[in-house]
Amino acid sequence: MNSCLYTLKLIHKRQEPRNNSFKYSIYMVYLDLDELENLSHALFLFGYNKWNALSFFDKDHFKFVSQKSRNAEVIARETTNFEATKYLNNNTKARLKILIGELKLGFELDKVYLLTSLRNFGYIFNPVSFYYCFDKTGKFKAMFSEVSNTFGDQKMYYCKINNSDAEIFSDNQRKNYYISPFINYDNNLHWKFKVPGDKIMMAIDSVKNDEVELHTVFTGNRKELSNSSLIWVMLRYPMITLMAIILIHYQALKLFLKKVKFYRKDETDEKIVRKINKKE
């Protein structure tokens, strides 16, 4: 079995305009998308496209192809200009293959591993999921970051890998997305990461005028994905997806009390759309 899980230390450090830092212990699963059906049969706590204590649903991913508002659709299409009808009635791996083709990344997808959170007793909020993509020769070719905000919007970023033999990979892109009401939309996002193995590392900085305003990093260790390990993480990290949304609002309250500038979503989305349309 290629799928596993990672126990992680998440560090989040805001440096501007007010200091605000926290550290949480979490876990995420690392799924070989070819194994989902087998995992559903082998693990009594795991369901694939069906309810269970922990479940993976295809509909929880690639939400950006069917955004609820015109502004959200324009924002999503900045990085992934897609033809929405192509994605209907496909599973997550098939959708990723379609997207790679539409982006003309120049490789045929073979293996893809998804680092993500599972539904906990039917509840899901996934701030970010990462797709690690490999071609038929086993070369690491691309990493996609599927970023969701608490308003139901989603945007997919991708990092094309030019040297698959590197130890550490990095990329830099304009954010142009409303993730937090306490940080501006037009910062740059800088990724720095490794291919997951026995250990994992992912760092994402939000940078403005060459200064890091927000630093996020998680590191951790691989664990076997089994019935016993799923029982352990459910006890160690109970209802982790619900806790994620609670802790996001708790940290937002701290920033509000520190009088950090608040950006309204509707106004911000309008500015982003005008900026994107102007570029075109």
The tens digit of pLDDT for each residue in 153-178 reads: 999 999 999 999 999 999 999 999 99
pTM of this prediction? Answer: 0.96
Q: What is the mean pLDDT of the chain?
A: 94
Which contacts qualify for 149-152: CB closer than 8 Å, 24 or more apart?
149/177, 149/178, 149/179, 149/180, 150/125, 150/245, 150/248, 151/178, 151/265, 152/63, 152/68
pLDDT at position 236: 96
Instruction: Report the first-to-last Cα separation within the chain, whole angstroms.
Output: 45
Task: Note the pLDDT of residue 280.
Answer: 56
pLDDT of residue 176: 95
Predicted confidence at residue 17, as pLDDT, reads: 72
Single-letter code of the amino acid located at 176: N
Average pLDDT, consecutive stretches of 10 residues, N- to C-terminus, the chain (280 residues):
97 84 95 98 97 97 92 95 92 97 95 98 96 96 96 95 93 94 91 97 92 93 97 96 93 91 94 86
Contact 43, 227 (CB under 8 A): yes
Q: Estimate to the nearest angstrom the gap between the alpha carbon of 270 and the chain centroid.
A: 24
CA–CA separation, 218 and 195 (whole Å): 13
- In whole angstroms, give the CA distance from residue 30 to residue 117: 9
| pLDDT at residue 20, rounded to an integer | 86
Q: How far apart are CA 141 and CA 273, in angstroms?
A: 30
Contact (CB, 8 A) for 167 and 257: no
Is the Cα dihedral 135, 141, 143, 144 positive or negative?
negative
The packing angle between helices 70-77 and 265-279, to 10°, is 50
- Measure the CA angle with vertex 57, ends 38 and 70; round to 5°: 150
The answer to whether 234 touches 53, Cβ cutoff 8 Å, is yes
Residue 62 is encoded by which pair of tokens? 């690639």
E strand segments, 33-168: 46-48, 54-56, 112-116, 119-120, 128-134, 140-148, 154-160
The 10 Å Cβ neighbour count of residue 222 is 15
Q: Residue 13's domain spans which residues?
A: 4-279
Instruction: Please report which helix (H) or strand (E) contains residue 72, including its range.
Output: helix 70-77
| Token output for 45 | 């706590």
Q: How many domains does the chain have?
A: 1
